[in-house]
């Protein structure tokens, strides 16, 4: 379950930012996750609750924002939206796609005290 490792990574970022941004508690975290990151939101919430226990982020809400995945289609020579990694191009039906975004996982916003 790689969600546990991701949750630990998120907590690490929150703790590092706490010293630069001077906050003591994290109330809510907005996370942007691309559809190709292969993250199960329920599993990530559960993992985050576990790793945040006893830290500055204990009991913080995790708000997961799904973003869009995009790929560059060679035959169409343009950027198209895809739902999954091996989807065909929605315009020409071809498979000569290079994924350009959709794998990201980043902290978009924080609510802190
Ligand atoms: Zn195409």
Tens-place pLDDT, residues 76-100: 999 999 998 899 999 999 999 999 9
User: How many A from CA of 83 to the centre of ligand 1?
Assistant: 14
According to the model, what pLDDT value does residue 100 have?
95
d(CA 113, CA 108) in angstroms, rounded, equals 17
User: How many A from CA of 36 to the centre of ligand 1?
Assistant: 19
Tens-place pLDDT, residues 29-67: 999 999 999 899 999 999 999 999 999 999 999 999 999
Contact 112, 25 (CB under 8 A): yes
Element spanning 6, H or E? helix 3-21
User: How many A from CA of 68 to the centre of ligand 1?
Assistant: 17
Q: Is residue 74 part of a domain?
A: no
According to the model, what pLDDT value does residue 1 have?
65
Q: Is residue 97 part of a domain?
A: no
Angle between helices 3-21 and 41-52 (to 10 degrees): 50
Instruction: Give DSSP secondary structure letters for 32-63.
Output: EE-TTS---HHHHHHHHHHHHTTSTTTT-EEE
Half-sphere exposure of 8 (CA within 13 A, CB side): 5
Q: Is residue 73 part of a domain?
A: no
Residue 33, both tokens: 């996750």
Quote the domain boundaries for residue 29.
3-68+102-112
Q: What is the CATH number of the domain that holds 51?
A: 3.30.2320.50
d(CA 80, CA 85) in angstroms, rounded, equals 12
């Amino acid at each position: 379950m790689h969600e546990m490792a991701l949750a630990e990574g998120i907590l690490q970022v929150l703790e590092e930012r706490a010293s630069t941004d001077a906050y003591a508690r994290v109330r809510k975290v907005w996370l942007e996750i691309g559809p190709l990151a292969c993250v199960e939101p329920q599993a990530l919430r559960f993992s985050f609750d576990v790793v945040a226990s006893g830290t500055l982020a204990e009991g913080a809400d995790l708000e997961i924002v799904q973003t869009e995945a995009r790929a560059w289609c060679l035959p169409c020579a343009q950027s198209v939206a895809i739902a999954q990694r091996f989807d065909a191009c929605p315009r020409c039906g071809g498979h000569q796609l290079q994924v350009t975004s959709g794998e990201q996982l980043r902290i978009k916003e924080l609510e802190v005290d």
